[in-house]
Amino acid sequence: MEIAISIILGCCALGAGIAMIAGIGPGIGEGNAVAKACEAIGRQPESKGAVTTTMIMGCAIAETTGLYALVIAILLIFVAPNTMVGILLKAIQSL
């Protein structure tokens, strides 16, 4: 039984780590968006307002992916182990 609990805890930690890999995508995407916005403003300075507004909106939408990954990782670390161990203990008691 101790081995099963250890496996559950290890898999939850591993899943949380894998979920946080999703934070790489928004970072790269937002960096590219800012770089292209700087290029656009450099070419046409009069369009600074429109470019900046669009860039900030796009970065905010891209950041939600990273926030979803963070929420999933937090759930896997704090909620899932207790739930899974509870299910395991109920299954063992029913035998």
pLDDT at 23: 82
pLDDT tens for residues 34-92? 999 999 999 999 999 999 999 999 899 888 988 999 999 999 999 999 999 999 989 98
Per-residue pLDDT of 14-35, as tens digits, reads: 999 999 988 888 889 899 999 9
- Cα–Cα distance, 59 to 90 (Å, whole number): 45
pLDDT of 1 reads: 82
Phi, psi of 44 (to 5 degrees): -135, 85
Q: Answer yes or no: is pLDDT of 95 > 90.
A: no
